[in-house]
Chain A
Amino acid sequence: MELPGDALLNYVFPNNVHVAWSVMIVIYPYITGLIAGAFVVSGLSHVFKVKEFEPIANFALIAAFCFGLFAATPLLVHLGQPQRALEIYFTPHLTSAMSIFGYVYSGYLLLLMIEIWLIYREYFVRKAGEDTGVMKLIWTVLTLGVTTYHPDSAKLDRKLAVILAGIGIPWAFILHGYVGFVFGSVKAIAWWATPLQPVIFLLSAIVSGMAIVLVMYSFIKWRRGERLDQPMVKKFSAFLWGIFILDVTMELLEVAFAAYEKGWHWSQIKPLLLGPLFETYVIGQLLVLSVVPFVILGYVVLSGVKGRLMLILANVAASFLLLQVLFMRFNVVVGGQLISKSERGFVEFHWEPFSKEGPLTAIVLFSAPFVAYYIISRFIPILGHDDDSSVAR
């Protein structure tokens, strides 16, 4: 393995032997990205009136909310002093890229809740009238005690929901661009330090969020034995393809720039990409997980393929994209830390499957949003059986 800095011996700073931000910090931007991406889908329908997406707009919104509920949990697990987590609200240090995350994140969650509430309020009101017992109480609380649905509110609520969606899109961008900024602004780590980082994070977030919406949608419809909305999936694939191309362009641009510049960055990055990150970055993220979905989606979008095959191809591509983004998160977060600040060696990454911050915890945390979705879907109609009309769109 080639080492940077003329080193003949792999030398890492003694405090550098462990990767300080490991699997938890890989899935934290991953889940955060899913929120942003899923929200964009609902925004495309609510704000940009892409009518094909109308049937899945609410679904995407609820999915975004479910991911939102758990986006901060990996951070919490990662903290050395999780009981002090709220200090980020009490004494946020404005010079830190991380300090306002608490506010941006919870503000966003609030926005999602209000938007969902506005959309489902009519349903809550109806349920509060129909149900009895504890459920009635819960529905009534959800209506905030306004248990009759004023006919004039419908228009008002819809308008407000659109406005919130309009605010939500830039906010989602800020939320995730911000996560990229947290990494991109660390000058000490060559692989992170690029102004493109927020853009890359944002675009990959949209890719992964859209992909998971598609996969979840297909899965749910398939489980229910219902027909998938083919024109929607086709349109969806087109959007996904386009944004993914943008995403990969940015990812490649970053590396191409460093490579052509041949500066300090490249002296650090080149041995990294050809060494410890070769499998996960060059082969995994680029050759397999980018090329394959690019080709498949291109085929889906450009050819006249229809029916079952089209649905399967779109879903296979989306699954690849989900992995691509997961790999990208790993390659950035962990990859950056593999270059020791000694500039003469690479840190070894250990998976430590059963440690507090290991992959097992990651799997548990990552399943949580799906469980939340399942629970929520027991109570409110999310992906309409075609006869639902009580939910505003």
Chain B
Amino acid sequence: MAAPSPRSHLYRLLLILVVFGAGFLAVKQWATPDSWNYEHWYRGDAVVEAAAQPLVYGGNDSCKTCHKDVAKLWRKKPHRKVACETCHGPIVDHAKAGKKTAVAFIDKTRAQCLNCHLEGINRPRAFPQFSKQGEIGKLVPKHKELDAVTPCAKCHEAHDPRP
């Protein structure tokens, strides 16, 4: 059955290599994603999919439609720099598709205020800080007398913090 040529085994090897090579190219063609971008070398659909990730935070505008009064007040006060969701958590936990779905998060403890306002050498000097001895910033007499439990809300209102 063997061919008489001394090279027949090499021809067969070559044939196998060619078949494998062609098979590989076919598989490669099949396995490359349809939306593959050969210029920038990425899967085109990846961008579409990335944009489709659901939103969690809605931004301040998303609260305004239902909380006009608070938003109106808030806008004129120093905390206008602080987004509603910074204190109340993301909108997905509270409202969906124009309807309230759950109670919004409210933290009335000192911890929330102190997270931003507790005096610290790492904070910008100009930032209003809560210190009992007045190490940093303005010494507030009322603060000096404070115990460690009185909520800030006793004198400050979250949406209109200036007492």
Contacts and interface: CB of A to CB of B under 8 A. Distances in A.
Contacts, number: 48
B9 A93 contact: no
Nearest to A151: B6
Interface stretch (A66-74, A140-148, A257-265, A312-320): A140-148
B1 A153 contact: no
Contacts of B16: 144
Given A89-B28, A153-B7, A114 B41 contact: no
The range of chain B's interface size is: 20 to 34
Interface string A109-141: 000001001000100000000000000000000
Contacts of A156: 6-7, 10
A374 B3 CA distance: 34
A150 B36 contact: no
A143 B9 contact: yes
A53 B31 CA distance: 45
A90 B31 CA distance: 7
Interface in A142-175: 143-148, 150-153, 156, 160
A349 to B, nearest CB: 31
B19 to A, nearest CB: 12
A111 to B, nearest CB: 11
Contact of A91 (B5, B8, B10, B32): B32
A144 B28 CA distance: 27
Nearest to B30: A90
Interface of B: 1-10, 12-13, 16, 24, 27-28, 31-33, 36, 41
Interface of A: 86-87, 89-91, 93-95, 114, 117, 121, 143-148, 150-153, 156, 160
Given A90-B28, A152-B6, 7 more contacts: A89-B28, A91-B32, A143-B9, A144-B12, A145-B12, A153-B6, A160-B10
